Amino acid sequence: MEQKLIVKMVLDSWNSAIARTGKLLNELTDEQIAADAAPGRNSGKYLLGHLVAVHDRMLPLLGMGEQVYPQLNEAFLGTPDKSGREMPSVAALRSYWTDTNERLATHFNNLTAADWFARHTAVSEESFAAEPHRNRLNVIISRTNHLNEHLGQMLYLKPIPQEA
Amino acid sequence: MEQKLIVKMVLDSWNSAIARTGKLLNELTDEQIAADAAPGRNSGKYLLGHLVAVHDRMLPLLGMGEQVYPQLNEAFLGTPDKSGREMPSVAALRSYWTDTNERLATHFNNLTAADWFARHTAVSEESFAAEPHRNRLNVIISRTNHLNEHLGQMLYLKPIPQEA
C-alpha cells in the first residue's frame, strides 16, 4: 500500500514538472527558445536539447531499452553551449521532447510498485544490497530535481512582463 | 523497511538542494545576491527572502510550531519583487536562511518514518482518508522542487565564466 502511494507521489511530481515545461514550450516561439535564458548563459535551445538527452538516457538507466537519440549526447551532454557543435532545429527538439517523455510514460505505466524499488542499471547487485535507495524511483526523484532547476532558468525565456 | 527507505530518499534530495543553495550563497557576495538574476527578473535578495518565507511556513504546515519570521510574508510571498516593500538586509536574510533550515532539520530528525506518512495540517482528516498522498513527505517533495527551480535561477547570480 505505502509502496504504491509513494510511487504515485514521486510520479505526480515528475509529471507536474514535465507538464509545466511542456506548457512553457507551447507559450514560446522558436525564436524565444533559441535565445539565451539570460545574457551569457545557456540558450533555451541548449537547455531543451540537454533535457531531451538526459531523459533519453533514462531508458537504459531504468532498463527500458537503448537511447533513441544518442546523436544528441555530444552537443548537449559532452560539451557546453556555444561550443560550435551542430544542433538540431528547435522544431526537431520540440518533437524529440514530446516523443521522449511519452515513451518514458508508456514504460512507467507498465511498472509495478515493486519494480520501482528494484535497482537501476548503474548499480551492481552487490552495491544495491548495501544501498537499497539506489532504485528506479530514486532516478525519478533525481531527474525531477534536475528538470525543475532548468525549468526555473527556461522561465526566463518568456518576455519580461510590462509594468501596468 | 520501505517506509524508512523512501523517507531517506526524499530527505536526501531535500538536503542536497539545501546544501547546494548554501554553497552557492557562500560563493556570492552580498552585492551579487542583491543583483537581479537576469535583467528585469527577480533579485537574488528577493529569491532568498522568498525561499526563507516558504521554508519558515513549513513549520505550521508540518505541525512543528508557528512561523518564526511572519514579517517576511508580505514582502516575499504577498507581493512581487520591486513592489517597494521594505526588505531585511542580505546579511540578515543569510542568517534567517541558515536558521530556518537548521530548525527544520532538527524537527525532521525527531520524526519517525510513520510520522512522515501522516497528514499535513492543510488537509482535513476526511480529505486525507481519500487522498493519503497529502502527507508530510509530499510537502518535502513539493518544496524540494520549488527550491530547485529557484536555485536554477540563483545560479545566474554567479559571474559569467570568462572564455579561456
ipTM of the complex: 0.96
B143 lies in some domain: yes
Supply B51's cell numbers: 525561499
B58 lies in some domain: yes
On whether any CB of chain B is under 8 Å from the CB of A122, the answer is no
Each of the 164 residues of chain B gets a pLDDT tens digit; together they read: 688 999 999 999 999 999 999 999 999 999 999 999 999 999 999 999 999 999 999 999 999 999 999 999 999 998 999 998 999 999 999 999 999 999 999 999 999 999 999 999 999 999 999 999 999 999 999 999 999 999 999 999 999 977 65
Which pLDDT value is given to residue A161?
A: 79
A163 lies in some domain: no
On whether any CB of chain A is under 8 Å from the CB of B65, the answer is no
Of B37, B41, B133, the CB nearest to A9: B133
Say which residues have a Cβ less than 8 Å from residue B28's Cβ, sequence separation at least 6: B44, B157, B158
B164 lies in some domain: no
B163 lies in some domain: no
Tell which residue, A144, A143, A118, has the closest CA to residue A132: A118
* Runs of H (alpha helix) within A35-156: 44-56, 58-61, 73, 90-109, 113-116, 125-130, 136-154
Give whole-number Cα distances, B151 to A116, B60, B136, in Å.
28, 24, 22
On whether any CB of chain B is under 8 Å from the CB of A141, the answer is yes
The enclosing domain of B22 has a CATH number of 1.20.120.450
A140 beta partners = none
- Return residues 102-121 of A near B (CB < 8 Å): 117
Supply A38's cell numbers: 539570460
B162 lies in some domain: no
Q: Which domain holds residue B86?
A: 2-157
Domain count, chain B: 1
A90 lies in some domain: yes
A162 lies in some domain: no
The answer to whether the CB atoms of A145 and B3 lie below 8 A apart is no
pLDDT surpasses 80 at A36: yes
Q: Which of A5, A131, A139, A145 is most worth mutating to test chain B (most B CB atoms within 10 A of its CB)?
A: A145
Q: How far apart are CA A50 and CA B13, in angstroms?
A: 21
The answer to whether the CB atoms of A8 and B141 lie below 8 A apart is no
Give whole-number Cα distances, A87 to A47, A73, A80, B95, in Å.
12, 11, 12, 44
Backbone dihedral region for residue B118 (phi beyond 0: left; psi -120 to 50: alpha; all else: beta): beta
Instruction: Give the DSSP letter of residue A163.
Output: P
Q: What are phi and psi of A119, to 5 degrees?
A: -70, 150
